[in-house]
């Protein structure tokens, strides 16, 4: 009785497979090279304004109008940052901005989490219809409401104070409500049901169960609100007339009108210092921020 012989791959077939493998690897390598090359090229366009801003902040006044522009100043003027900090009252602008931004963050987190919890976890008549109306307010441009809001704040004596810049953050934001609602709906309903069986109220469930689990989404809302308050220019421009109350965006604009082009390096130095806290904040919170965005919208 003859034993079956093992199948031997012909040399030509093995060579063909090897060629296909090499071709596949070459195609994959070329595709990766083109993809990352395009990403590097596009990122260069985004980084270029930042590099120009940093370079300009370190220049002498004589180097500002030279064409083609000088990218590496000689000598490097680090004292431009000291001058901008002292001469332009930069510390006052930062303090004023924090006075607006921090209460706004607290108000945005408290108000929007409560409203979003009511839309996501509490059943009441007309809930979905009211939520649709809240979403519809996102269509309305914010500038449309400035005139009636200014009239209201003027009549109650809030103009030239920080209250018009802080109070709206405590009254809810349609986008933040939507973001938090979608996150809350992705949490297991069984957790709330078990707590309710143990006698917990809706506020107890919200405070002890939902909020600790919603830290990524809350971090997103806090970061968005802080950036919005930190970069806000139009609001302070409308409501603030006292220069001692100027926020950082309005203060930098005032520097431009005061010092002009000859001290443009000071303006760029102040701009770099104003952007730096946002970059640092995002650097430390980026994992929580990305997690909050990724986990939002899984249900709804």
The whole-number pLDDT of residue 296 equals 56
Tell me, yes or no, whether 115 and 252 share the same domain: yes
Q: How far apart are CA 97 and CA 94, in angstroms?
A: 5
Tell if the pTM clears 0.75, that is, is over it: yes
State CA 18 to chain mean position distance. 49
In a domain, 5, yes or no: no
Q: How far apart are CA 222 and CA 227, in angstroms?
A: 9
In this prediction, residues 52-75 reach a mean pLDDT of 79
Of the CA atoms within 13 Å of residue 102, those in its CB half-sphere come to 6
Q: Give the tens place of pLDDT for each residue, 1-36.
A: 455 555 454 556 666 666 777 777 888 888 888 888
Q: Give the tens place of pLDDT for each residue, 271-287.
A: 888 888 888 887 777 77
Supply 212's token pair: 């600790």
pLDDT band at 165 (very low <50, low <70, confident <90, very high): very high
Highest mean pLDDT among 39-43, 103-107, 230-234, 278-282: 103-107
Rounding to the nearest 10 degrees, give the CA dihedral for residues 61, 65, 70, 75.
Answer: -10
Tell me, yes or no, whether 41 and 177 share the same domain: no
The whole-number pLDDT of residue 300 equals 45
Question: What's the domain range around 40?
Answer: 11-57
Tell me, yes or no, whether 91 and 53 share the same domain: no
In a domain, 65, yes or no: no
Tell me, yes or no, whether 238 and 126 share the same domain: yes
What total of structural domains would you count in the chain?
2
In a domain, 68, yes or no: no
The whole-number pLDDT of residue 107 equals 95
Highest mean pLDDT among 43-57, 67-81, 209-223, 274-288: 209-223
Of the CA atoms within 13 Å of residue 88, those in its CB half-sphere come to 35
Answer yes or no: are the C-beta atoms of 84 and 270 closer than 8 Å: yes
What mean pLDDT, rounded, does the chain reach?
83
In a domain, 64, yes or no: no
Tell me, yes or no, whether 288 and 152 share the same domain: yes
Q: CATH number, domain at 181?
A: 1.10.3720.10
Tell me, yes or no, whether 231 and 138 share the same domain: yes
Tell me, yes or no, whether 118 and 228 share the same domain: yes
In this prediction, residues 239-248 reach a mean pLDDT of 90
Lowest mean pLDDT among 17-21, 49-53, 87-91, 233-237: 17-21
Residue 117's nearest CA partner among 240, 203, 35, 222 is 203
Distance linking the first and last C-alpha atoms of the chain: 69
């Amino acid at each position: 009785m003859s034993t079956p012989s093992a199948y031997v791959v012909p040399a030509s077939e093995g060579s063909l497979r090897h060629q296909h493998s090499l071709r596949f690897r070459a195609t994959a390598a070329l595709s990766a090279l083109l993809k990352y090359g395009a990403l590097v090229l596009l990122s260069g366009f985004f980084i270029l304004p930042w590099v120009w801003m940093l370079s300009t902040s370190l220049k002498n006044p004589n180097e500002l109008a030279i064409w083609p522009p000088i990218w590496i100043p000689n000598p490097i003027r680090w004292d431009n940052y000291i001058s901008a900090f002292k001469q332009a009252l930069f510390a006052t602008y930062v303090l004023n901005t924090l006075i607006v931004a921090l209460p706004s963050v607290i108000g945005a987190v408290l108000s929007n989490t409560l409203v979003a919890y009511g839309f996501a976890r509490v059943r009441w008549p007309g809930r979905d219809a009211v939520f649709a109306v809240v979403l519809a307010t996102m269509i309305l441009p914010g500038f449309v409401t400035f005139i009636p809001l200014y009239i209201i704040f003027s009549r109650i004596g809030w103009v030239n104070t920080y209250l018009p810049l802080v109070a709206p953050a405590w009254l809810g934001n349609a986008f933040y409500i939507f973001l938090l609602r979608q996150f809350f709906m992705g949490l297991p309903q069984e957790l709330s049901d078990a707590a309710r069986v143990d006698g917990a109220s809706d506020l107890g469930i919200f405070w002890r169960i939902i909020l600790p689990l919603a830290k990524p989404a809350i971090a997103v809302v806090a970061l968005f609100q802080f950036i919005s308050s930190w970069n806000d220019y139009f609001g302070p421009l409308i409501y603030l007339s006292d220069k001692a109350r100027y926020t950082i965006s309005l203060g930098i604009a005032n520097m431009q009108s005061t010092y002009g082009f000859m001290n443009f390096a000071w303006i760029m130095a102040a701009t770099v210092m104003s952007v730096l806290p946002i970059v640092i904040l995002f650097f430390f919170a980026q994992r929580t921020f990305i997690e909050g965005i990724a986990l939002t919208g899984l249900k709804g």
